[in-house]
Amino acid sequence: MKIAGLLLLLCNFTWFTFNVMSIGPIARSVVVNHYEKLDKDTYTKKEVQKHIRDVASGFTGKLRLFFYPGLGMLIGGLLLFYSKPKKPDGIEN
């Protein structure tokens, strides 16, 4: 049970770290794609609001989930916490 808990912690921590490190390039790619769509010098309020919504929806569509690796780390930590400690050989209760 300890091995399963440790594996859950390590694998999900790696997954979580990868998600955190990939946010910057994802945000940059979304913003660069939307810069190319801007072609005028002046915009109306409605056009600005539409561009803001487009950027936000483009970013959230590419955003990775942090819930699943967090839940996996929680389960792994609970497995480690509630697993019985290994008794040394020769000791009996």
Whether residues 70 and 48 fall in one domain: no
91 domain residue, yes or no? no
What are the tens digits of pLDDT across the range 43-67?
Answer: 788 988 888 888 777 777 666 677 8
Whether residues 29 and 58 fall in one domain: yes
| Residue showing tokens 């794609």 | 33
Give the pLDDT band of residue 38 (cuts 50, 70, 90): confident
Distance between the two ends of the chain, CA-based, in angstroms? 21
Q: What is the percent of the chain with per-residue pLDDT over 90, rounded to a whole number?
A: 26
When mean pLDDT is compared across 23-32, 36-45, 55-64, the lowest value belongs to 55-64
Inform me whether the pLDDT recorded for 78 exceeds 90: yes
Whether residues 28 and 4 fall in one domain: no
Q: Which domain holds residue 7?
A: 1-22+65-83
71 domain residue, yes or no? yes
70 domain residue, yes or no? yes
Whether residues 59 and 76 fall in one domain: no
Average pLDDT, the chain: 82
Query: How many separate domains does the chain show?
Result: 2
Q: Which residue, among 83, 60, 71, has the nearest Cα to 13 in the 3D structure?
A: 71
Give just the sign of the alpha carbon dihedral 35, 40, 42, 45: negative
Q: Please list the alpha-helical segments (H only) found in the chain.
A: 2-21, 23-35, 45-62, 67-82
| Residue showing tokens 């930590």 | 77
Q: What is the percent of the chain with per-residue pLDDT over 70, rounded to a whole number?
A: 90
Whether residues 28 and 54 fall in one domain: yes
Residue type for position 54: D
pLDDT of residue 40: 74
Q: Tell me if the pTM is above 0.85.
A: no
93 domain residue, yes or no? no
